[in-house]
Amino acid sequence: MTPPLLSYSLPCPVTALGVLVTPEDGVVRAAGYGPPEEQLQRLAPALRERGTTPGGADDPVAKAVAAYAAGDLTALDAVTVEQPGGPFLQRVWTAMRAVPAGRTATYAQLAAAAGSPTAVRAAGSACARNLLAPFVPCHRILRTGGGLGGYRYGLGVKEELLRHEGTLPPV
C-alpha cells in the first residue's frame, strides 16, 4: 500500500505555506500559500487519492522552510521538487529555480533562459501553472519594465516575498 502524503502548514514570511511531500522519496509535490488541503486539490488524482498525514517539524522540508523564513534565502534551493508537465514547462521551471533570491527576471528573460525566447506568453503560463511556490520561485518573475504581473496568491503576497528576499524596499 502506498503511504499518504506528508502534509505541512508551515510559518513563512507572508502567511502559512501548505506543503505536500511524498514520504518515500522526500519530494515536494505541491506547495502554496494556503492550507495543505487546497494544495491537495491541485494534484493529479493518483496523488490526491493517497490522502495526507501530518509531517513533523524535524523533517527536512519543514527545516528548509523555517530556515528560509528566518532569512536563509537559499534554504529552499536544495529541496527536491517535482511537478507534471511537458519538456517546455520543465525547462521554464528549471530556469525559474535558477533565478536566485534577491534577483528577479522578466517573463522574456525566463523564456530565453528556457531556450525559447519567443515563447514569452507560454513562460507566463508556466508561472501560472506552477504547483510549487516558493520552491519554484515564480514570485521572482516580473513584467518587462518591472511591473509585478500576476500571482496566484495575490500581489500583496508576491510583494512581501520579494521584500523578504531584499528585492523590494521595506514599506
* Residues annotated as part of the active site: 138
Determine the Cα angle at 65 with ends 141 and 14, to 5°.
60
Nearest C-alpha neighbor of 73 from the set 142, 141, 146, 166 = 166
Read off the DSSP letter of residue 76. Answer: G
- Residues near 2 by beta carbon (within 8 Å), at least 6 away in sequence: 24, 50
As a whole number of angstroms, the distance between CA 33 and CA 171 comes to 21
Q: Which residues on adjacent β-strands are paired with residue 9?
A: 18
Contacts of 146 (CB under 8 A, 6+ apart): none
Contact 168, 104 (CB under 8 A): no
CA distance 30 to 43: 7
